[in-house]
């Protein structure tokens, strides 16, 4: 009998929970709708040069973790049981590991299996090859790996109590994307190899453990020994391993509506919930746009400020930076973005990191449609214009080969594909298609795309095939108007691109010219009446054709700006960041204390890396500040952030 992955997962789950008393409301049955047929159709695995796995021979279908968190040692240790399927006769499976301590590998009966780790690659880590008796047709083989993570595992950040709002308990969180899951879970860490999973995590009893899955244990955990508790989780939808995520800390939950809610430290809970209330409407709007939300609940975990990203679309539980809690809901497009990934990315997943634009470009497009539906076209167009501005800077800075949508990142860190090209050029491509075929036809196609490809990996080739079959349908004139190959394979922006026109920004641009170019007074800037997006637009103003590194403001103008706009007290991280970029680029000394507070107060790479890069570009003045501030801030940053900043400033 062939056991389907879903059945295997269900059986594994039954064994895991067998005999345990379930609390009311927590059912072992998944709260997610059944999988569509697309989930079980055979996959042709793309070649993923960032993984050692050979899934066409033997692949991981299910991961079952049993791990204990040791905050003193900064390790997770225990076992990962993997269910392997493969071609008849396959007698080994190749996994990805990096910086893991592998203790032993056994079969389901506890008998040792032969295993071997290969040469270490600085980016990819090592292959872990496990041998077993040849698989019979349709057979599923369980292997059990006993292992521990290292204190410097790149996916994990162990926070001291002082790095939390409460200041009393430590905190742990993981960040798997792109290829960091292999530093805490030994599995086939390729986005094309989807796996169901479950976990039991043991942690100190003062903490609560949350994961990107359904919680099976009661919220307060289950007794597991003196001073410790256990939490159990299950993800019955097959997911790419970069979406397996864990956090543990002194956190509490507040509902928004029946299926959405917020989790964060107790002292921050009410502010976070109030900021993020629109999440409930966003899920409704997203479903109306592009079909059913297939993950059951949608909760947000607002992390401590060290979280290195703005947001991370971990299924059922988006991880978010606290820098979006601005007090006025002005930065909630980030939630729309992470939510949109529940379709583009988590349902339909880039097969390899070369096709990252299929995750992020589609998501930026979808995000903006959510924002338009909820907040109107004007706000949506403002957001598009800000994105277009960022993209122009990026296009000017990157080598032309890296401005193509489909990349070849072989031998490079997949992080190098994390640029505005994947996000904004990708979204611009979809907007161009929408403009040419009309919104109604475009939406019908995109709906179908998510349905047809649900729970499947997607490559740029498969995307082209899908759009040709279901939208272009042999219309040669349409095909040529879309200029798909130019968008995907040529650098820069194709000739059928029309930048967004936001007339709403016209008064902002006029005020910017009056102040920056015509040296007007900052008191004339109608700052108080502006939204965050208008403020961002104002601060993004740059003189036409300005040489990089050239000053375009005087010290008096900078002082006028800082005082009139009260920038020393600015609480909005996006606005503060935009100001500090200007200040650093002018070596404006009075802003240095504000800069220092900002850089030591949070570790979001999108803010931290550009500021250190700008400091570094300012010669002795900036380098001295960069070295001093980095020495102070680095211990608080996540490995993702230090990895990037080390390359600029060096290790202190
Ligand atoms: N999935 C990304 C974050 C990511 C990408 C992490 C690649 C690691 C590797 C997430 O959805 C994202 O794009 N976050 C953005 C915010 C978003 C609103 C553009 C971020 O973190 O800044
Ligand atoms: Zn994203």
pLDDT, tens digit, 9 for 90 and up, residues 104-118:
999 999 999 999 999
Return the percentage of the chain with pLDDT > 90, whole number.
93
Atom of ligand 1 nearest to the CA of 418: 7
Atom of ligand 1 nearest to the CA of 640: 8
Phi, psi of 2 (to 5 degrees): -90, 120
Check whether 483 has a pLDDT greater than 90: yes
Name the residues annotated as catalytic.
Answer: 338, 423
CA 587/CA 614 separation, integer angstroms: 10
DSSP-assigned states of every residue in 8-25: HHHHHHHHHHTTPPPPTT
Tell me which residue has tokens 């746009």: 289
Any idea which ligand is nearest the CA of 336? 1
CA of 523 relative to ligand 2 center, distance in Å = 38
Closest C-alpha to ligand 1, atom 1? 312
- pLDDT at 5 (0 to 100): 37
- pLDDT at 550 (0 to 100): 78
Does any ligand 1 atom lie closer than 6 A to the CB of residue 334?
yes
Query: Tens digit of pLDDT for each residue in 68-119?
Result: 999 999 999 999 999 999 999 999 999 999 999 999 999 999 999 999 999 9
Cα 281–Cα 282–Cα 286 angle in degrees, nearest 5: 120
- Contact status, residue 126 vs residue 120, Cβ threshold 8 Å: yes
Identify the band that residue 29 occupies on the pLDDT scale cut at 50, 70 and 90. Answer: confident
Query: Tens digit of pLDDT for each residue in 529-585?
Result: 999 999 999 999 999 876 666 789 999 999 999 999 999 999 999 999 999 999 999
Tell me which residue has tokens 């949508």: 405
Atom of ligand 1 nearest to the CA of 423: 19
Check whether 8 has a pLDDT greater than 70: no
pTM for this prediction: 0.95
β-strand pairing of 58-70 with 75-86: antiparallel
Any idea which ligand is nearest the CA of 417? 1
- pLDDT at 4 (0 to 100): 37
Provide the mean pLDDT of the chain: 95
- pLDDT at 548 (0 to 100): 64
Any idea which ligand is nearest the CA of 358? 2
- pLDDT at 13 (0 to 100): 35
- Contact status, residue 247 vs residue 195, Cβ threshold 8 Å: no
- Contact status, residue 187 vs residue 64, Cβ threshold 8 Å: no
Does any ligand 1 atom lie closer than 6 A to the CB of residue 177?
yes
Does any ligand 1 atom lie closer than 6 A to the CB of residue 341?
yes
Residues in Cβ contact with 133 at an 8 Å cutoff, skipping those fewer than 6 apart? 91
Identify the band that residue 2 occupies on the pLDDT scale cut at 50, 70 and 90. Answer: very low
- pLDDT at 30 (0 to 100): 86
- 138: nearest Cα among 94, 85, 190: 85
Does any ligand 1 atom lie closer than 6 A to the CB of residue 198?
no
Tell me which residue has tokens 């990315």: 345
Q: What b/e string do you get for 474-496 counting C-beta neighbours within 10 Å, with b at 16 or more? A: eeeeebeebbbebbbeeeebbeb
- 270: nearest Cα among 327, 209, 197: 327
Does any ligand 1 atom lie closer than 6 A to the CB of residue 310?
yes
Check whether 489 has a pLDDT greater than 70: yes
What does the pLDDT average to over 258-275?
Answer: 98
Tell me which residue has tokens 């403009």: 435
CA of 79 relative to ligand 1 center, distance in Å = 30
Closest C-alpha to ligand 1, atom 14? 311
Check whether 25 has a pLDDT greater than 60: no
- pLDDT at 28 (0 to 100): 54
Check whether 340 has a pLDDT greater than 60: yes
- Three-state DSSP class for residue 112: strand
CA 263/CA 251 separation, integer angstroms: 6
Give the mutation target among 307, 310, 345 for probing the ligand 1 site: most ligand atoms within 8 A of CB: 310
Atom of ligand 1 nearest to the CA of 356: 7
């Amino acid at each position: 009998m062939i056991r389907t992955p879903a059945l295997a997962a269900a059986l594994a789950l039954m064994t895991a929970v067998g005999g345990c008393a379930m609390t009311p409301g927590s059912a072992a049955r998944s709260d997610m709708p059944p999988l569509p047929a697309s989930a079980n159709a055979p996959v042709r695995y793309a070649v993923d040069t960032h993984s050692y796995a050979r899934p066409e021979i033997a692949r991981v279908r299910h991961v079952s973790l049993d791990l204990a968190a040791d905050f003193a040692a900064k390790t997770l240790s225990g076992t990962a049981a993997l269910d392997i399927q493969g071609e008849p006769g396959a007698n080994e499976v190749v996994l990805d590991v990096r910086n893991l301590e592998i203790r032993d590998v056994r079969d389901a009966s506890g008998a040792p299996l032969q295993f071997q780790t290969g040469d270490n690659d600085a980016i990819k880590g090592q292959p872990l090859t496990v041998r077993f008796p040849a698989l019979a047709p349709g057979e599923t083989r369980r292997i059990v790996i006993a292992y521990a993570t290292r204190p410097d595992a790149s996916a994990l950040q162990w926070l001291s109590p002082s790095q939390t709002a409460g200041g009393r308990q430590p905190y742990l969180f993981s960040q798997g994307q792109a290829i960091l899951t292999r530093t805490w879970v030994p599995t086939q860490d390729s986005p094309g190899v989807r796996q169901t999973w479950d976990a039991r995590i043991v942690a100190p009893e003062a903490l609560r453990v949350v994961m990107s899955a359904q919680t099976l244990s009661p919220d307060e955990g289950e007794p597991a020994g003196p001073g410790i508790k256990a939490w159990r989780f299950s993800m019955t939808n097959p997911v790419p391993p970069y979406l397996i995520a864990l956090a543990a800390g002194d956190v509490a939950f507040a509902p928004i509506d029946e299926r959405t809610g917020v989790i964060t430290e107790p002292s921050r809970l009410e502010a976070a919930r109030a900021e993020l209330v629109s999440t409930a409407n966003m899920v409704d709007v997203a479903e109306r746009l592009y079909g059913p939300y297939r993950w059951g609940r949608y909760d947000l975990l607002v992390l401590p400020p060290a979280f290195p990203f703005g947001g991370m679309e971990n299924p059922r539980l988006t991880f978010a930076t606290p820098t979006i809690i601005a007090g006025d809901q002005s930065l909630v497009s980030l939630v729309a973005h992470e939510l949109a990934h529940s379709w583009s990315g988590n349902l339909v997943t880039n097969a390899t990191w070369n096709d990252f634009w299929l995750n992020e470009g589609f998501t930026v497009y979808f995000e903006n449609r959510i924002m338009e539906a909820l907040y109107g076209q004007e706000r949506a167009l403002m957001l598009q214009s800000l994105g277009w501005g960022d993209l122009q800077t990026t296009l000017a800075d990157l080598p032309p080969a890296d401005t193509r949508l489909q990349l070849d990142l072989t031998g490079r860190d997949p992080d190098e594909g994390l640029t505005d090209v994947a996000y904004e050029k990708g979204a611009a491509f979809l907007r161009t298609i929408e403009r040419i075929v009309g919104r109604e036809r475009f939406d019908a196609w995109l709906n179908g795309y998510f349905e047809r490809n649900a729970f499947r990996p997607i490559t740029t080739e498969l995307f082209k095939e899908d759009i040709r079959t279901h939208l272009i349908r042999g219309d040669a004139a349409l095909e040529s108007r879309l200029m798909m190959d130019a968008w995907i394979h040529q650098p820069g922006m194709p000739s059928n691109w029309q930048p967004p026109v936001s007339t709403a920004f016209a008064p902002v641009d006029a005020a910017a010219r009056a102040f920056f170019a015509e040296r007007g007074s900052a008191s004339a800037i109608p700052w108080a009446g502006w939204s965050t997006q208008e403020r961002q637009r104002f601060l993004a103003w740059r003189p036409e054709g300005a040489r990089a590194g050239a000053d375009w403001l005087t010290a008096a103008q900078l002082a006028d700006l800082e005082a009139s706009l009260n920038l020393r007290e600015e609480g909005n991280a996006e606005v503060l960041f935009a100001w500090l970029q200007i200040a650093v680029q002018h070596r404006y000394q009075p802003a240095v204390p504000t800069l220092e507070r900002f850089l030591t107060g949070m570790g979001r790479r999108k803010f931290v890396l550009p500021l250190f890069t700008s400091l570094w570009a300012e010669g002795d003045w900036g380098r001295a500040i960069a070295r001093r501030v980095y020495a102070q801030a680095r211990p608080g940053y996540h490995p993702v952030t230090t990895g990037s900043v080390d390359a600029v400033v060096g290790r202190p």
